[in-house]
Structures are given as structure tokens and as C-alpha cells.
Amino acid sequence: MNNNNQALVSPDLVQALDALDEWLVVVDAQARIVFLNQPYAHFLGLKRDEVYGQPVIEVIENTQMHRVVETGQPELSRLQEVRGRHMIANRYPIRQGGKVVGGIGTVLFHDTHEWRQMNTQIKALVSELDFYRRALDKEQTGARFHLNDLIGRSPQIQKVNEKIKKVAAGDASVLIRGESGTGKELYAHALHLLSERSRGPFIKINCAAIPENLLEAELFGYEEGAFTGAKKGGKQGKFQLADGGTLFLDEIGDMPLSMQAKLLRVLQDREVEAVGSNRLVKVDVRLVTATHQPLEKRVELGEFREDLYYRINVVSVELPPLRERREDIPALAEHFLNRLANRTGRRAPKLTAQALTRMLEYAWPGNVREMENAIESAFYLSQGHKISLQALPAALMEGLEVPEPVVYRGTLKERLAAAEKQILEEALLACDGNRLLAAKLLGISKTSLYDKLAKHLLNIDL
């Protein structure tokens, strides 16, 4: 301990604190370490005299001592991971004359063997909890995607996320709008998992994928013998299956008018009558719908009921197309590539600057779904650790101007110069414009490379 700290902690007190089973650290008003007892220093693998005066956040990982000093609020029984071990920490501010002048933190444990047993139990419980949470999400509720699973940090997506958080707690019907491929179903999943109904079922149905004559039975169920081919014992409909949870009707804009009237009646009365039955069954369902159709236009044309439109459109969430949030493209590309790498056991490749530039320029009429398919195609067509411009699907290359190869004719000196220029261009392109790497690749000095670039008036900067 240095002289300053000896003035703060007496030798007798140091001896007493070193004898504790608890690990202890004391910081000053600037969250710098002024004392560390020997058991804690031994665990951290440090000489305590060498850490005095250092910021605590640079010495102890995941510490929150600086926050206690800043806020003046104690933190009790907080889980903290240090050097791969989970432990419970208590942190208290130290006040003098009503002013916070430092903080003291303790880590609770008994002995190494018992701590290791406890740490193993904690890890097992955390793992088990995560397993059951995901199993519950997938099997019981049917919803799999949390809001944190959705990739995007653009202002447009952040605005959507905030709106989803605000409306999730209630029971209001939500209409999710957006072009095909923008992720409407994923947001329906996230909305359900944020709601008070998250422990209930999440049932989905695509209104455009089921023939009109079967849609009623799918939604409301049917009794045995209700029609030719009816299942013995009948079948519950999606409304009955979603009781106590959320029903997601995708592509509701394509629902036939006859079914719209029946759906409206169910939403108004909260009662379902199965096909072939004369018995009404109460249902408690939150309705979330999605469409890429301009419903207002369809209402004007008489193709969608106005009363149903207002019933499902209590809260409207508009998902932006990918072309309006291009800053999310690099993160989405990395996410898709990493997922493919995990699936195949292959190292995740990176997009070259040219390929990424083209993806940023492309309009993406199919939005995120089209981008995911394009990334998957390029992943399997690429060799090595780079995805080049040429590996992207043909649709992305349409309209892209590719310069015609230049053919040089003339004297030997002129043709040698042309060949040298082409070699320089190829080297620079192979190195993504990095001149130092290009010089090494060509086996010449950086100075020689610059001289040759100046000679051929080359200025390639990728």
C-alpha cells in the first residue's frame, strides 16, 4: 500500500480485512482504487500495491463501483462475472458531510470448493432456464422472435421498435403494414412475446394461402360430419387454438368479402361458431393482422369492408422498405452470413467493398427476404473468405455498367506499357486498393509502385 492509502487504512485494519472470507474493494470519489484486500487481489492475480490509484473499471471487469459513486445509490446482491466466474456483489456509497466521497464493494463467497459448486449450479440453472424459455416460446406459444432478434439500428426501425413496445402491453388490435419481405410476421412474433399474453399461444394463418371454401373451417373449426372429408371428431379452428393468446392473420387484405363479414361478427361478439355447429363458443383472442395491400384503396373499391378495416386498424405499424433504411444492410448481411456459417460449419466470408457497395445501391424490391436469398446464393457460390461482386445474383447486376476491356495495339514498348498498366490494375483490385499490399504482391517497393502508378496515370482507390 502506498503512503496515501496507509493514511486511509491503518495496518491493524488492513490485517483484519485481509482475514475476511469476503473480497473487498474501496474506491474514492473518482472511482479510483484506494484499497483492495489480499484475498481479492490474489483472485484477480494482481499485486494490490500496483493497482492503487487506478480506475476501478480498468482493474475489475464488469464492475459497477463507478456507478455507485456517480449515483450515490447502493446496489445489493447483484450478479457479477469476474474472470469467468459468477458471484454476488454488494456495493455501497461512502458519504461524508452528506457528500459521496467514495464507495465500498464486497464479493460474497465461502470457500473455493463451495463457490465452484455454487457457480456450477448457477450455470446449470441459467442454461436450464434459457432452454425452457426457448422451448416455451417455440412449442407452447409458437412465437420465436424477440424484438432483440430483429436486426436494425436505423432511425426508422428504432421508431417501429418503440411503437411495438408501447402497444404490446394492451389488447388493442394491431395492423402491421409494409411491402412483402419487410418482416411483418417477425414483428407479430415480437409483439406477442412482449405482451401480457406471452405465455399463451401464438397462432398464425395466411389468408392468401388457403382456398376460400376452406378458410372458414380453418378459422372457426368444424364439427364431425360438417362436410365431405371432415375429420372424425371435428377440428378446432385457429380462433379456438389462440384462446388466451394472439391470433396473427397474415395477408388479411386478400381475405374474401364473405369471410370478412364472419370475421367482423367474431371480433364484435367474441364468440365463434364452428362449421356444422349451432353452438357459440367464447374466445379471448388478441388480433394482430398484416398486409402489403393498400386497404384504404380496397375499401374505396368495395373490396374490403370499411367496418372491418376500422376494427383491425386500432393501432397501425408501418414497416419501412429496405431501400429506406440502407444503413441496416451491412449488419443484416453479416447476420445472414454468420447464420449460414454456423449452419454449414464454414468460416463466415466477408463482402468485398464492391459487393457491399452494389448491395447498398440496389433497390431491393423484395426487401429483407430478397436480401437473405441473395446472401445465401452468394455464400454457396463463393470460394474462400470473400464474396465478390461477381458472386451476387444476376438480378443485382442488371443495369450495372461494366467497362469494356481496352485493347491496345502499337509498338512493343506501347504494348508492354499497356500490359504493365493492366497488371497494376489487377493487383490493386485484388488488394481492394491497398497500395502497400499491392506492392508486396507484385514484389516491388512501395516507391516503385507509386512511380508506376504516376507513369500510367492510375488512381484506383477502392
**171: Cβ–Cβ under 8 A, 6 or more apart, which residues?**
286
- Return the pLDDT at 369: 94
212 Cβ partners below 8 Å, 6+ apart? Answer: 256, 258, 259
Cα 223 to Cα 47, 211, 214, 247: the distances in Å are 77, 19, 14, 21
pLDDT of residue 2: 42
Contacts for 217 with CB less than 8 Å, ≥ 6 apart: 226, 227, 235, 237, 275
Segments of the chain scoring below 50 in pLDDT: 1-7, 110-113, 138-140, 402-406, 408, 461-462
Domain spans in the chain, listed from the N-terminal domain onward = 3-109, 147-318, 323-397, 412-455
For the domain made up of 323-397, give the CATH fold.
Helicase, Ruva Protein; domain 3 (1.10.8)
* Phi-psi domain of 276 (left: phi exceeds 0; alpha: psi -120 through 50; beta: other): left
Write down the pTM of the prediction. Answer: 0.57
* CATH for 3-109, options being 3.40.190.170, 3.30.450.20, 3.40.710.10, 3.40.50.620: 3.30.450.20
Q: What pLDDT is recorded for position 203?
A: 94
What is the C-alpha end-to-end distance of the chain, expressed in Å? 55
Whether domain 147-318 has CATH 3.40.50.300 = yes
412-455: CATH topology: Arc Repressor Mutant, subunit A (1.10.10)
